[in-house]
Amino acid sequence: MASDWLGSLVSIDCGTTLGIYQGEVSAVDPRAQTISLRQPFQNGIRCPVPEVSFSASDIKDLTILDIPKVRGTLNKICESKLSSLPAKIGESKLSTSPAEDKGPGPPKAPITILRRGAPLAPRAVSQASIPPVPRRSSSAGASTGRVKDNECFGDATTEGLDADFDFEGNLALFDKAAVYSQMDRNGNSNGSRQRSTPGNPAVPSYRHDENVLEGQPVVYRQITVPQHGGKEFCTDSGLVVPSVSYELYKRLLQACEKQGLSLERRMEITGVCACQMALTLLGGPNRLNPKNVHQRPTVVLLCGPHVQGAQGVSCGRHLANHDVEVILFLPNFVKMQEALTHEISLFGRAWGKQVSSIRDLPTSPVDLVVNCLDSHENPQLREQPWYRAAAQWANQNKAPVLTIDPPVSPQGQAPPAVEAKWSLCLGLPLALGEGAGRVYLCDLGLPRQVFQAVGIHYQSPFGCKFVIPLHAAA
């Protein structure tokens, strides 16, 4: 009878045009060859209407998910009421008589009838996604299988889904102290290391940047000098870098010449390191990139007629090669050192701008001023008019100042005319005063034999860098 199918849960495949429908059979009309579903789902989404009807011609496949009662007339209903479609119960096919199978008629769509399946959910259910449930041979096994089916696929699983999960109450059930205590006991029984706790100070704890492997103690004083320069610095890692006197510094430079490290070599290294430091102070990749060509930084070089001035010109040449707008102030001196003349010639090929008058310097603040006015050998240059004019312009421009290789002011002498924010020392630092600002150290690439020649025990404090900051030691 048609009423035997009422209440069954079925899945009807109507092809790609209409889609897949799931719902409870509410009516079966044998004459009109139609079947109706109550509370239907279309492609996993609940339909806006409470009931839909389907014609046998629109049905491509029909899968029965739940049968309330298996009647003995199931074969008759499948043939006469539902277009005589062959059916399956679980894995067994309800076969008809041979005469009926071979009879004429239109091609019949298969109907697959499975065991109890999952309740209707807001998503499409396909035959391949519902695995068959194996049969139990014993009555106890069969009852257990039914219980599991009800627990996994029964309607009771949908109860209580609307209630909010109590995260706070569930977290309160976790006893963290008890779990850690159990972990400690298990660790001690297995011979592993005990976890460090505040109540157990005997077990050391390490930071993320500390080495847990024991090694030799670090020697922080790796540089010793025969003559103390009067001041000590330390690096970021704590290594002590003592200052040297200018007399010892001159002996170190003379040893460089004897070892083949000429002034030209040292000047090129100084220019590269000073350029790298200046590029970092200007903003690095945030300021110097192809997308920011309309904001090129401007650097003014203030140089004198000496080696320090030549080092500044070398720095300016490298800055110009990095698309920095460089303005070199260098008065028309009657006598200049050969190294400075050579550097000026190279600077002119780097598209840098050179001026000899303070009136040609920018009146608005620039990005950086590189000060190379002072000389170790000739402090009387401070009395020259061009020196005073350049120092006055630097102080009025209010731009940050980087001084390269600054000299030490003798006791009782006035501080530098241009107060620097940063100072770059070469090789080893001098005992600079407060007007030098923050002190940085440049690696000139001098081997240990050069330091040993003047009685300095030296081990490089630079690590992976060529320019490092120095801090005043306590």
CATH architecture assignment, domain 232-287+295-472: 3-Layer(aba) Sandwich (3.40)
Query: Which residues are within 8 A (CB) of 433 and not within 5 positions of it... i.e. 6 or more apart?
Result: 408, 409, 415
Measure the CA–CA gap between 376 and 338, rounded to whole angstroms: 17
Measure the CA–CA gap between 315 and 358, rounded to whole angstroms: 20
Structure tokens given for 474: 């306590």
Q: Does position 157 have pLDDT exceeding 60, yes or no?
A: no
CATH 2.30.30.100 fits 2-154, yes or no: yes
Say if CB 437 and CB 418 are below 8 A apart.
no
Task: Select the more confidently predicted residue: 143 or 344.
Answer: 344
Mean pLDDT for 397-415 is 84
Measure the CA–CA gap between 125 and 136, rounded to whole angstroms: 25
In one letter, which amino acid is 27? A
pLDDT at 386: 93
Structure tokens given for 342: 């050579």
Measure the CA–CA gap between 316 and 298, rounded to whole angstroms: 11
Task: Select the more confidently predicted residue: 95 or 298.
Answer: 298
Mean pLDDT of the chain: 78
Residue pLDDT, tens place only, 2-22:
677 788 888 999 988 888 988
Average the pLDDT over each of 5-19, 41-55, 86-100 and give the range with the smallest value: 86-100
Measure the CA–CA gap between 251 and 249, rounded to whole angstroms: 5
pLDDT at 147: 55
pLDDT at 388: 93
Q: How confident is the model at residue 334 (pLDDT cuts 50, 70, 90)?
A: low
How many CB atoms are located within 10 Å of the residue 405 CB? Answer: 21
Q: Does position 155 have pLDDT exceeding 60, yes or no?
A: no
pLDDT at 133: 43
The full set of domain ranges for the chain reads 2-154, 232-287+295-472
Q: Does position 466 have pLDDT exceeding 70, yes or no?
A: yes
Residue pLDDT, tens place only, 225-268:
998 878 899 999 899 999 999 999 999 999 999 999 999 999 99
Exposure pattern of 390-401 as b/e (b: 16+ CB <10 Å)? bbebbeebebbb
Task: Select the more confidently predicted residue: 189 or 443.
Answer: 443
DSSP three-state, residue 139:
helix
Mean pLDDT for 136-140 is 46
Q: Does position 451 have pLDDT exceeding 50, yes or no?
A: yes
Q: Does position 174 have pLDDT exceeding 90, yes or no?
A: no
Give Cα separations from 33 to 70, 414, 425, 454 (angstroms). 21, 112, 99, 111
pLDDT at 275: 96
How many CB atoms are located within 10 Å of the residue 42 CB? Answer: 18
pLDDT at 108: 41
Mean pLDDT for 300-326 is 94
Q: How confident is the model at residue 327 (pLDDT cuts 50, 70, 90)?
A: very high
Measure the CA–CA gap between 401 and 421, rounded to whole angstroms: 5
86: left (phi over 0), alpha (psi -120 to 50) or beta: beta
DSSP three-state, residue 281:
helix
pLDDT at 321: 93
Percent pLDDT > 90 in the chain is 39
pLDDT at 126: 41
How many CB atoms are located within 10 Å of the residue 243 CB? Answer: 23
pLDDT at 255: 95
pLDDT at 124: 40
